[in-house]
Amino acid sequence: MREIHVDEIISAVEKLCIDANIILPDDVKREINKYYETESSPLGKEVLKDIIKNYQIAEEKNIPICQDTGFAVFFVKLGQDLRIVGGNLTDAINEGVRRGYKNGYLRKSIVNDPLIHRKNTGDNTPAIVHYEIVPGDKLQITFAPKGGGSENMSALRMLKPADGVEGVKKFVLETVDKAGSNPCPPIIIGVGIGGTIEVATLIAKKALLRPIGQHHPQPEIADLEKELLNEVNKLGIGPQGFGGTTTALAVHIETFPAHIASLPVAINIQCHVARHKEIEL
């Protein structure tokens, strides 16, 4: 059985935290540049130009793309033939976050008590870690820092099966329209359909990790993604809410089998700073 020491994981997570907050993925850069060329609003076009300049400066000067460096969210695929030695995997991830946010001079945004005292933990821990056991002896870690502004605009609705596709469309458009400028558009919209209340929200967030331009493998769902993107961009919210034809860069839908009596739909909104980075150990 292959072994990995927790020290290697800590170092990898530290680097992921820093790099993900500084370097925007290429697919996101490509879409922002594409929509800059097609944006019809002069003010919207100017905002997109500033967004492009912002991510360029972040890379050149090695500083965060956004001041909100997010809740540390991880998706971990753990090979069943891999053994973690020297400590606990979750503890190692949290230590990596602790070091990454300190050494990368990233803002710490997490409070220990969500309701009463709301005291900052001072190191951006604890992280949120979603585990999946997979075949093999590899450890794949995906880090996706999630800002508060976009997360606050996310939503869940337990639709009736009879609501069908039209009900999903209506819910997505209502949610984005209500969000307005708050999630810092242009946004990426993750939609989770099916499962249970917690599965729908989880797959909506996982949908945000899919490369822009890669549609759902089921043709009908892929068509729905394209239709929703077109309809969202007709809302006129535009870049940073100043109006225009670029409200969203992509709509990504993920599905899961559902109960005969249920149609849960979750929407997870991501701002244009769609940060995520992955490593395999």
Inter-residue contact 10 to 90 (CB < 8 Å): no
pLDDT at 95: 98
- For residue 194, the cross-strand partners are 256
Inter-residue contact 115 to 40 (CB < 8 Å): no
Token output for 134:
């997979």
pLDDT at 1: 87
Token output for 105:
């001079």
Token output for 280:
């395999």
Longest Cα–Cα distance in the chain:
59
**DSSP three-state, residue 105:** coil
Sheet order of strands, 128-134 included: 128-134, 73-79, 139-143, 277-280
Tell me how many degrees the CA angle 12-14-17 measures, rounded to the nearest 5.
Answer: 110
Token output for 126:
């604890």
- Rounded CA-CA distance 212/25 in Å is 10
Token output for 267:
């929407």
- For residue 188, the cross-strand partners are 250, 270
pTM: 0.95
pLDDT at 40: 94
- Rounded CA-CA distance 95/190 in Å is 29
Q: Strand (E) positions, 113-247?
A: 128-134, 139-143, 155-159, 187-195
Eight-state DSSP code of residue 161: G
- For residue 268, the cross-strand partners are 190
CB atoms near residue 25 (< 10 Å): 17
Inter-residue contact 134 to 80 (CB < 8 Å): yes
Reported as a single tens digit per residue, the pLDDT across 178-203 is 999 999 999 999 999 999 999 999 99
Give me the tens of pLDDT residue by residue for the chain, a chain 281 residues long: 899 999 999 999 999 999 999 999 999 999 999 999 999 999 999 999 999 999 999 999 999 999 999 999 999 999 999 999 999 999 999 999 999 999 999 999 999 999 999 999 999 999 999 999 999 999 999 999 999 999 999 999 999 999 999 999 999 999 999 999 999 999 999 999 999 999 999 999 999 999 999 999 999 999 999 999 999 999 999 999 999 999 999 999 999 999 999 999 999 999 999 989 999 99
Over its C-alpha atoms, the chain yields an Rg (Å, rounded) of 19
Inter-residue contact 31 to 72 (CB < 8 Å): no
